[in-house]
Chain A
Amino acid sequence: MARLASFSPQSAKLRVALLAASAAACLAVQADSLFAPSATQADQVWRLPAPPMPADNMTTPSRVELGRALFFDPRLAGSGAMSCATCHNPSLGWSDGLKTAIGANGKVLGRATPTITNTAYNTQFMWDGRKKSLEDQALGPMQSRDEMASDMHGMSQRLASVQGYAAMFAAAYPGQPISSDTIAKAIAAFERTIVVRNTAFDRWLDGDAQALNQQQWRGYKVFNDPVKGNCVACHSAPNFTDNGYHNVGLNPAGNGDMGRYAIRQVASLKGAFKTPSLRDIAATAPYFHDGRMADLAQVVDYYERIGVHRTEGLSPSIRPLQLTVQDKQDLVMFLQALSSPSQSYAVPSLPQ
Chain B
Amino acid sequence: MIRSDRYLTGLGALILVVAASVYAAQEHAVIQKGKAFSVKRLNVKIGDSVKFVNEDPYTHNVFSLSDAKSFDLGSHGQGVSRTVSFDKAGTIEVECAVHPEMRMIVEVSK
B72 within 8 A of A: yes
Pick the contact of A268: B65, B74, B101 (CB < 8 A): B74
Interface size class of A (residues with CB under 8 A): 20 to 34
Q: State in angstroms the CA–CA spacing of A260 and B98 once bound together.
A: 10
Establish whether residues B98 and A246, one from each chain, have CB atoms under 8 Å apart when the complex forms. Answer: yes
Establish whether residues B100 and A315, one from each chain, have CB atoms under 8 Å apart when the complex forms. Answer: no
**B residues less than 8 Å from A315 (CB atoms):** 59, 75, 98
Q: State in angstroms the CA–CA spacing of A264 and B35 once bound together.
A: 19
Q: State in angstroms the CA–CA spacing of A337 and B65 once bound together.
A: 42
B81 within 8 A of A: no
Q: State in angstroms the CA–CA spacing of A94 and B65 once bound together.
A: 36
Q: Which one of A10-18, A67-75, A206-214, A237-245 is at the B interface?
A: A237-245
**B residues less than 8 Å from A123 (CB atoms):** 100-101
**B residues less than 8 Å from A129 (CB atoms):** 100
Give B58-95 as 1s and 0s: 1 = Cβ < 8 Å from A's Cβ atoms.
Answer: 11010101000000101111000000000000000000
B40 within 8 A of A: no
Pick the contact of A124: B63, B75, B100 (CB < 8 A): B100
**A residues less than 8 Å from B57 (CB atoms):** 226, 233
Chain A residues 187 to 236 lying within 8 A of chain B, measured CB to CB, are 226, 233-234
Binding site for B on A (CB under 8 A): 123-124, 129, 226, 233-234, 242-246, 260, 264-269, 272, 315-317
Establish whether residues B77 and A266, one from each chain, have CB atoms under 8 Å apart when the complex forms. Answer: no
Can you show 26 pairs from A to B with CB atoms below 8 A apart? A123-B100, A226-B57, A233-B57, A233-B58, A242-B98, A242-B99, A243-B99, A243-B101, A244-B98, A245-B97, A245-B100, A264-B97, A266-B63, A266-B97, A267-B74, A268-B61, A268-B72, A268-B74, A268-B75, A268-B98, A269-B97, A315-B98, A316-B59, A316-B76, A317-B59, A317-B77
Establish whether residues A316 and B97, one from each chain, have CB atoms under 8 Å apart when the complex forms. Answer: no
Q: State in angstroms the CA–CA spacing of A244 and B75 once bound together.
A: 13
Q: A242-B99, A245-B98, A316-B77 are in contact. Are A266 and B58 (CB under 8 A)?
A: no
**B residues less than 8 Å from A267 (CB atoms):** 72, 74
Q: State in angstroms the CA–CA spacing of A190 and B107 once bound together.
A: 41
> How many whole Å from A246's CB to the nearest CB in chain B?
7
**B residues less than 8 Å from A265 (CB atoms):** 65
**A residues less than 8 Å from B101 (CB atoms):** 123, 243
Give B4-30 as 1s and 0s: 1 = Cβ < 8 Å from A's Cβ atoms.
Answer: 000000000000000000000000000
Extra inter-chain contacts (13) besides given A243-B99, A244-B100, A315-B98, CB under 8 Å? A124-B100, A129-B100, A245-B97, A245-B100, A260-B97, A266-B61, A266-B63, A266-B97, A267-B72, A268-B72, A268-B97, A316-B76, A317-B77
